[in-house]
Amino acid sequence: MSAIVAIVGRPNVGKSTFFNRLIQRREAIVDAVSGVTRDRHYGKSDWNGRDFSIIDTGGYVLGSDDVFEKEIDKQVELAIDEADAIIFMVDVETGVTGMDEDVAKLLRRVNKPVLLAVNKVDNAKRAEDAVEFYSLGLGDYYTIASINGSGTGELLDALVEVLPEKEKAEESELPRFAVVGRPNAGKSSFINALIGEDRYIVTDVAGTTRDSIDTKYNRFGFEFNLVDTAGIRRKAKVKEDLEFYSVMRSVRAIEYCDVCLLVLDATRGFDGQVQNIFWLAQRNNKGIVILVNKWDLVENKETNSIKQYTKKIKEAMEPFTDVPIIFISVLAKQRIFKAIETAVEVYKNRSKKVPTRKLNDIMLPLIENYPPPAYKGKFVKIKFCTQLPTPYPQFAFFCNLPQYVRDPYKRFLENKLREHFDFSGVPVSIFMRKK
C-alpha cells in the first residue's frame, strides 16, 4: 500500500515541472495520467525503495473571484486532506508573496508532514535569497531547481523519511474487488444488488486503508472481499468536489485491491474521468473489468449497438484492449452475477504462473519465426524467457542487445502471451534483459 503525496502551492511556481521530473525518474515502474481539469495530474514514483502516488494540484489562490480558481482551491484542500505528506512549493524569483502566506497558513493547521521546497534555485545568489522563506513558519526548507533536477535528491530523501510505514494487509487469501467509477454511475446500487438480499452472508471487515470497509461476500460459490469506494466517509470540514474526490477515493481503493470493477454510465460513455480511473488501475497492475451500467436507458439502440459501443471503448483503451466489457443493468439486476464471475476469472488470470519450460517451448519458436527487427545494422537474438516472481504477470526476455528492442516488438510479445495463456483483463509487463 503506497502513500499519497500532494504537491501544492500558488500558480506558476513550477509544480508541474517538478512532478514531470519526478515520475520520469524510474521509467520502468512509473507513469502519469492527466487529470480532467487544468494543471492536475496523478502519477506513481518511488525513491530509495519506497513507492508513493503523487498528486500535482492546481495553483491555490485564496479569495479569488475566478470560479475556476475557486474549484481548484477546493481540490487543493481535498488533496491536502487525503495526502499522507505535502510538498509546498514556492518560487525564489518572486520571494514570499501574499498567496504563499495564505497557503502556509492553511498548512500550519494540518497535522501532516509538510516539506517546503524553494524552486528555481540554480546558483549561489538564489540560495542566499531563499533564507526569507523561513518567515512562512514551516521550519527548514529544501532548495531545488525542478527544471534540471538540482536538489531533488535531498528533498526526496527527506520525503521518504516522513512517509508513514506501509500498512500490512490483513492475512487473507480472499481476493479484493474494488468497485470504482465516477459519481452517479451506479456503484452503490451495484453493491446493494449484490449483497442486499441475503445479508447474513455479508460481514463488514475494517480495511487497511483509511476509512475503507471490506465487505466479505460469499454466494453462489464466489468468496471475496468487496471494497466499496462509495462507502468511504465524507470529510466533514471540506466542501467536496465530487469529480475530484471520486478519483481520490479511487486512488486508495485501486492500490488496495486485486481487481477493479470499473462502473460507467452508458449514457455518458467512456469519458475522460472514467479513462483516468482506468489508466490508474492499469498502471497499478490491477485486474480490470468494465461494467457498462444503465444500458437500458440508452436511446435509439440497434442490433449492433453493443458492438459499436464496445469498439469505441477499446479504441480509447489502446493499446491495452484485452479487457472484459459487460453490459449490465443494476436496477433490473441483469448480468450482475456475470460481472462477478468475470472478475473472479480476471483474478485467476492475474495470479497465473506459467512454467518456464512451457513458456519457452511456445514463445521461442514464435520469436525465431518473427525476430526483432535489426536496429543500426545489429540483430537482436532472444535466447530465453521466464515469468518473474511478482503478484501480477511480468516476463523477462533475455537477449544480447536489450536496448535495441522497441515498444512495437514488446507489444507483439505481449499479444502472443495473451493469445496462448489468457491474461484477459490483466496488464502484462515485458522486460528485456542482457543475456
- Distance between CA 232 and CA 206 in Å, rounded? 11
Q: Is residue 167 part of a domain?
A: no
Percent of the chain residues past pLDDT 90, beyond the cut = 33
**CATH number of the domain bearing residue 370:** 3.30.300.20
Whether 365 and 336 share a structural domain: no
Per-residue pLDDT tens over the stretch 156-187: 999 999 988 765 544 457 888 998 887 778 88
Asked if residue 45 is part of any domain, the answer here is yes
In a domain, 204, yes or no: yes
Same domain, 78 and 196: no
Of 162, 196, 212, the position where a domain reaches its end is 162
- 122 located within any domain: yes
Average pLDDT score over residue span 296-303: 77
Residue 153 lies in a domain: yes
Binding-site residues for GTP sit at 9-16, 56-60, 119-122, 181-188, 228-232, 293-296
What average pLDDT score do residues 71-85 get? 70
Q: How far is CA 115 from CA 67, 85, 135, 312, 412, in A?
A: 29, 8, 14, 43, 44
Dist. CA 175–CA 347, nearest whole Å:
7
> Does 424 map to a domain?
yes
Q: What is the pLDDT of residue 248?
A: 65
User: Which one of 162, 197, 225 terminates a domain?
Assistant: 162
Tell whether 93 and 229 lie within a shared domain: no
Domain that holds residue 343: 176-351
- Bond prior to 164 in cis (omega within 30° of 0): no
Residues 224, 338, single domain; the answer is: yes
Residue 170 lies in a domain: no
388 and 415 assigned to the same domain: yes
The whole-number average pLDDT for the span 140-150 is: 89
Residue 415 DSSP SS3: helix
Where does the pLDDT of residue 58 fall: very low under 50, low under 70, confident under 90, or very high at 90 and above? low
Residues 192 and 46 in one domain: no
Q: What is the strand order of the sheet 259-265 is part of?
A: 203-206, 213-219, 222-228, 176-180, 259-265, 287-293, 325-327
Q: What is the largest CA-CA distance in the chain?
A: 71
Q: Are residues 33 and 140 in the same domain?
A: yes
Question: Are 336 and 368 contained in the same domain?
Answer: no
Buried b (16+ CB within 10 A) or exposed e, 240-277: bbebbbbbbbbbbbbbbbbbbbbbbbbeeebeebbbbb
Q: Could you tell me the CATH number of the domain that includes residue 77?
A: 3.40.50.300
Number of independent structural domains in the chain: 3
Determine the Cα–Cα distance for residues 234 and 244; give it in Å rounded to an integer: 13
Give the helix ranges, DSSP H, for 35-163.
Answer: 67-82, 98-108, 124-129, 152-162
Q: How far apart are the first and last CA of the chain?
A: 33
> 365 or 375, which is more confident?
365
Residue 168 domain-assigned (yes or no): no
Which range among 138-147, 190-199, 298-307, 405-414 shows the weakest confidence by mean pLDDT?
Answer: 190-199
Q: Are residues 188 and 285 in the same domain?
A: yes
pLDDT at residue 301 above 80? no
Whether residue 278 has pLDDT greater than 80: yes
How far is residue 153's CA from residue 159's CA, in Å, rounded to a whole number? 10
Residue 77 has pLDDT above 90, yes or no: no
Binding residues: 9-16, 56-60, 119-122, 181-188, 228-232, 293-296
Please tell me the pTM assigned to this model: 0.68
Half-sphere exposure of 27 (CA within 13 A, CB side): 1
In the predicted model, is pLDDT for residue 36 greater than 50?
no
Q: Is the pLDDT of residue 71 over 70?
A: no
Out of 300, 330, 351, a domain closes at: 351
Whether 204 and 333 share a structural domain = yes
Confidence of residue 399 (pLDDT cuts 50, 70, 90): very high
Taking 70 as the threshold, does the pLDDT of residue 197 lie above it?
Answer: no
Scan for cell 498502471, then name that residue.
283
**Cβ 409 vs Cβ 374: under 8 Å:** no
Q: Is the dihedral of CA 180, 186, 188, 191 positive or negative?
A: negative
Q: What is the pLDDT of residue 19?
A: 78
* Least confident stretch, 29-33, 115-119, 141-145, 180-184: 29-33
Going from the C-alpha of 319 to that of each of 314, 316, 323, 411, 428, the distances in angstroms are 8, 9, 11, 8, 12
Q: Are residues 347 and 360 in the same domain?
A: no
Check if the beta carbon of residue 77 is closer than 8 Å to that of residue 237. Answer: no
Mean pLDDT of 323-337: 89
Do residues 339 and 361 both lie within one domain?
no
